[in-house]
Amino acid sequence: MDEINAVKALKKGDRLAYKYLFHAYYNRLVAYITTYSHNRTQSEDIVQQTFINLWINREKLDDTQSPKGYLFAIAHNIFIDTINASKKKDTIMTEIWERALRDRIEEDSEAQEKRIQKIKYVIENLPPECRKIIHMNKIQGIKYKEIALELKISIKTVESQMRIAFTKIREAFKDDSLLLFLLLN
C-alpha cells in the first residue's frame, strides 16, 4: 500500500490504512517534535494527539497528496498549543503564588502591629522604675552597669527590675513563641 492509496482508504474509515500511516510516520513525527520539546514523552503525547486528529478529520484529507505535510503541520500546531497552555498555566501559578505571598506579608504586618501595640501596653503598665530601666536598656541600648551608675542603684537592682519586666512580658505573650524568641535574643 502506498501513501496515496492509504489516504483514500483512510477517508473511507479503513483501520488498516490508518495503521499503515501510523507506522510510516510515528517515529519521524516523534523525532521532529523532540527537536523542539527536548522531551520524548511529551513528543509521544503530541504525536498520539496528531494521529487522533488525523482519524477525526480523515474525511477532509486530500486524497491526491501524501499526508506527510498535513501530519507534520498538525504535530507542530499541537506542540505550539501545548507550549502556550504551559506558559498560561505557569503565569497563573505565578500570580497565585505572588498573591499568596502578598497576603502573607499583610497578615504578618498586621500581626506585627498587634504585637507592637501589646508590648507597648505591657511596658506602659510596668512599675515606673522598671519601665524606666527597660526603656534605657532596650530602647536606648544602655548597659546594666551604666544604668546602675546613672540611676545610682546597684547592678543587682537593674537585673532584678529587668527580670520583673521580662516576666510580665512573657506572661502577656505566653502564646506567642515568636516574640518570646526575639525577646530572649
pLDDT in tens, 28-57: 999 999 999 999 999 999 999 999 999 999
Query: pLDDT tens-digit profile of 66-98?
Result: 999 999 999 999 999 999 888 888 888 888 888
Find the length of the chain: 185
Query: pLDDT tens-digit profile of 104-126?
Result: 766 667 777 787 888 888 889 99
Q: What CA dihedral angle connects 175, 179, 181 and 182, to 10 degrees?
A: -170
d(CA 170, CA 151): 25
pLDDT attached to residue 180:
45
d(CA 35, CA 117): 61
Domains located in the chain, CATH noted: 3-92 (1.10.1740.10), 125-184 (1.10.10.10)
d(CA 53, CA 65): 18
